[in-house]
Structure 1
Amino acid sequence: MRPLRIAVLVKTNTGGMWLLPQVDELRHRGHEVTVVLPPGSGRLRDELERQGVEVLASPYDFTVNRSTPLGLLRLRSLLRQLRPDVVQYHLIASAYAARLATLGLPVRRVHMVASPAYLESRWVQWVERMMWRLDHVVVCGCRYASVRYGELGCPPKRRPVAVYGVDTDTFSPDATGPDQRAKLRAELGVDQAAFLAVMVSHVYPPMRLVRSGRGVKGHDVLLAAWRTFRRRHPDAHLLLVGGGWTAAGESYRRQLGEHFGVPDDPGVTWVESVPDVRPCYAAADVSVSPSLCDGTGAAVEAGSMSVPSIVTGVGGLPEAVTERSGWVVPPADTAALVDALEAAYRDRAAGTLTLRGQLARRHVLMSFDDLRTAAEVADIVEDVATDRR
């Protein structure tokens, strides 16, 4: 097919690293890709520019205030100058901006749903019941998101599932070296024989419209469960990796730390950031994703590293594990989370936890490899551009 002009719109220049394989696949097929991000530096911008992708600063800051109409008009002007065949947008704030800024323009709109968390809000559900109709296709990052859009009236052909994958070569048990497990444990002061659980996630501040104002990643649930679990197993250690997302998130992280006595608890280590998260998985026996709403979360990265996961039965998390590679527990259920930690502890003692990790890796290779999933997204974009979908 003829080369397409594709504008990718994302409301962050720090997160969103998952779109890199998609951009790479589209460019590999000969399409011209321009990424529009908020102004300023960030990991995503730096990596895109390193790869030679054109990156432009968005004239709209993706917030709602008195300057919103002017910002949307400026964004519309920028997109008209780019004259894209397709506008592809990730994250709900980007979706609202792209939809409104391109009204009446001869472009095809591809909405990428990274996480369905926003669909937990009844207000957002009401808005999306109308707004999804401006999307030519809603590409859902998990089956759960597709089901939710189906409940809002979106027909099956307009809500295909294409997951956000993981680089299974980079996130591999062989990629970090055989000594990383022992090295990181030594750096953390964790005994080499200890049972180590890891949770990798930013701390998001409670949102009034989602889950009754609780932190959506479930840090409070895990910390409460860990108190009970560690009383039974004093040799166990919990590693939390991730700082607060925005100043409000960091404030909430500090509140959690003080409430659960993390600074004085020798059984919990909380690091705000690490240059490479893979050694954290390599050092762990099990990964925990106790979210109240989420996409596939860290379970996919952990599984790719041959680490089994405990996840909650929300969003796309149950899709990231199988019955033999992990455990699924109800959200906000401290007792169930303790039971799952106990099961992982028993498996480790019995020598069967390693098999679960191997099965987790196999599941990720089959369903979440980023090269395959990026090709699926590129196929959808091309189909939309040529009216084949």
Structure 2
Amino acid sequence: MNTIRVAMIIQAYHPHVGGAERQLAAISPRLQRQGVDVHVLTRQQPGLPRYELINGIPVHRIPTPGNHALASLSFTTLALPLLTWLRPNLIHAHEMLSPTTTAVFAKRILKVPIITKVLRGGDLGDIAYLQSHKTGRQRLATFRQDVDRFIAISQEIDRELESMGVAPNRRVLIPNGVNTQHYAPVSMGEKLALRRKLGLPNGPIAVFTGRLSPEKRVEHLLAIWPLLREQHPDASLLILGSGPDEPGLHAQASPGVHLLGRVGDVAPYLKAADLFLLPSHTEGLSNALLEAMSTGLPCVATRVGGAIDLIDHSNNGWLVNRNAPDEMLAAISLLLENPAQRHYLGQRARQHIVRGYSLGNTAEQISQLYQGLLAERPFTAAPSAQG
């Protein structure tokens, strides 16, 4: 098979940690092993080199001086000569915002197909944001015309693409994947040993992992925790992550709530916990939820985005309505009082993820998408990798 060179365009990349960045960093080495020559183009961050190899993946960081709008223009202007030099066979944009704008301009110059992965759905998602103002609606019309394939990571996003007029043959549903070996269940003995190693309490532990930003609604968990502790006085809540809401959450924290900040690897904390909580107002397909389910944790999540695809309510997890802290409180209390049900939900969650959401499965679907798209037009093999 000829080598396919793909330019991945994303606003930020490792070591910046977010769901999209983590997913691309995890999937890229697997695509490399399947014969895809991956190059990542991202924005320059302070203190990071303009170019480096990260886990064998070339990462090109492009300066973006100026405010928000000017930074986007700067990125596109400086990315185009780099893309011309790289000569990718196709361009894969991660987000239906400025990365897709850059990809569209590059397509017109390089005459290569482009793919857009839509990261978020719902009323705070990519499409809703663009539809909310005139310039955004104009960009949507351009994207609808010029993007060759759209990747939806959830059924919700696929329906939104359908509503904006994207034909079925230009939409493909490819969920995010998770490393099912790294995020794997442990025995009770191993769980207790991890708690001792991490300095965690011995009572029931619930955990949230993710960015501490408004759409995550972490404040709802902190609001209900004193009420939960009336029923379960030794219950602890671990909050792992950082973001703009962090100072306010520290001020709101009550006994039993532990804000641990950003950690390099959340897997040991998931393995040490009894329950995973995701109170988000909106999601694409949560990497944090995938990781928790893969670890065999029973999960309580709001009925939004990809959580609806992942969780079969009361069979492999628990769904509650968004912005309903009372429902979240009732679900947590119910599961803390029923160890057998927690064990059942965790087992079924693990089985579901291993069957359909491994990184290998996701990488294979993406590789097949690349090959199928390139088969529709004359294929020119990429030159040897350039540093």
TM-score range, shorter chain: 0.7 to 0.9
For residues 56 and 336 of structure 1, what CA distance do their matches in structure 2 show?
Answer: 45
For residues 52 and 112 of structure 1, what CA distance do their matches in structure 2 show?
Answer: 23
Residue matched to 2:53: 49
Q: Give the letter aligned to residue 290 of structure 2.
A: V
- Asked whether the equivalents of residues 60 and 75 of structure 1 are also in contact (C-alpha less than 8 Å), the reply is no
For residues 359 and 110 of structure 1, what CA distance do their matches in structure 2 show?
Answer: 33
SS at match of 2:184: coil
Q: Give the letter aligned to residue 377 of structure 1.
A: I
Q: Give the letter aligned to residue 332 of structure 1.
A: N
Compute the TM-score of the two structures, normalised by the length of structure 1.
0.85
Point out where structure 1 has 5 or more consecutive residues left out of the alignment: 205-214
SS at match of 1:94: helix
SS at match of 1:216: helix
Which of 247, 253, 257 is matched with 2:246 structurally?
A: 253
- Asked whether the equivalents of residues 132 and 154 of structure 1 are also in contact (C-alpha less than 8 Å), the reply is yes
- Asked whether the equivalents of residues 181 and 282 of structure 1 are also in contact (C-alpha less than 8 Å), the reply is no
- Asked whether the equivalents of residues 60 and 72 of structure 1 are also in contact (C-alpha less than 8 Å), the reply is no
Which of 179, 189, 194 is matched with 1:183 structurally?
A: 194
Q: Give the letter aligned to residue 365 of structure 1.
A: V
User: In the TM superposition, what whole-angstrom CA distance separates every residue of 1:312-359 from its partner, at most 9, and x where no partner exists?
Assistant: 1111112222221111111111111111112212222xx231121111
Q: Give the letter aligned to residue 322 of structure 1.
A: D
Does 2:301 align with 1:305? no
- Superposition deviation, residue 62 in structure 1: 10
- Superposition deviation, residue 127 in structure 1: 4.9
Point out where structure 2 has 5 or more consecutive residues left out of the alignment: 378-387
SS at match of 2:31: helix
Which of 322, 346, 357 is matched with 1:357 structurally?
A: 346
- Give identity over the alignment, percent: 23
Which of 127, 135, 153 is matched with 1:119 structurally?
A: 127
- Superposition deviation, residue 185 in structure 1: 5.5
Which of 17, 23, 31 is matched with 2:36 structurally?
A: 31
- Asked whether the equivalents of residues 43 and 62 of structure 2 are also in contact (C-alpha less than 8 Å), the reply is yes
For residues 61 and 374 of structure 1, what CA distance do their matches in structure 2 show?
Answer: 34
For residues 312 and 278 of structure 1, what CA distance do their matches in structure 2 show?
Answer: 22
User: In the TM superposition, what whole-angstrom CA distance separates every residue of 1:184-229 from its partner, at most 9, and x where no partner exists?
Assistant: 2574451x2x22110001112xxxxxxxxxx101112222222322
- Superposition deviation, residue 270 in structure 1: 0.7
More off after superposition, 357-366 vs 179-188:
179-188
> 1:1-389 to 2 correspondence within 5 Å?
1-13=1-13, 14-15=16-17, 16-40=21-45, 49-60=53-64, 64-66=68-70, 68-91=72-95, 92-116=97-121, 117-121=125-129, 122-123=131-132, 126-127=137-138, 129-130=140-141, 131-174=143-186, 178-184=189-195, 187-190=198-201, 192=202, 194-204=203-213, 215-244=214-243, 249=244, 252-258=245-251, 260=252, 262=253, 265-297=254-286, 298-323=288-313, 324-348=315-339, 351-387=340-376
- Asked whether the equivalents of residues 300 and 320 of structure 2 are also in contact (C-alpha less than 8 Å), the reply is yes
Q: Give the root-mean-square deviation of aligned CA atoms.
A: 2.7
Residue matched to 1:209: none
For residues 51 and 41 of structure 1, what CA distance do their matches in structure 2 show?
Answer: 21
- Superposition deviation, residue 128 in structure 1: 5.7
Q: Give the letter aligned to residue 279 of structure 1.
A: P
- Asked whether the equivalents of residues 115 and 151 of structure 2 are also in contact (C-alpha less than 8 Å), the reply is yes
SS at match of 1:57: strand
For residues 65 and 126 of structure 1, what CA distance do their matches in structure 2 show?
Answer: 16
CA spacing shift, 1:69–1:169, aligned 2, 3 Å: closer
- Asked whether the equivalents of residues 62 and 94 of structure 1 are also in contact (C-alpha less than 8 Å), the reply is no
User: In the TM superposition, what whole-angstrom CA distance separates every residue of 1:15-35 from its partner, at most 9, and x where no partner exists?
Assistant: 312123432343223332222
Q: Give the letter aligned to residue 317 of structure 1.
A: A
Q: Give the letter aligned to residue 313 of structure 1.
A: R
For residues 44 and 290 of structure 1, what CA distance do their matches in structure 2 show?
Answer: 36
User: In the TM superposition, what whole-angstrom CA distance separates every residue of 1:71-114 from its partner, at most 9, and x where no partner exists?
Assistant: 42221111111121100121333223322344343111011223
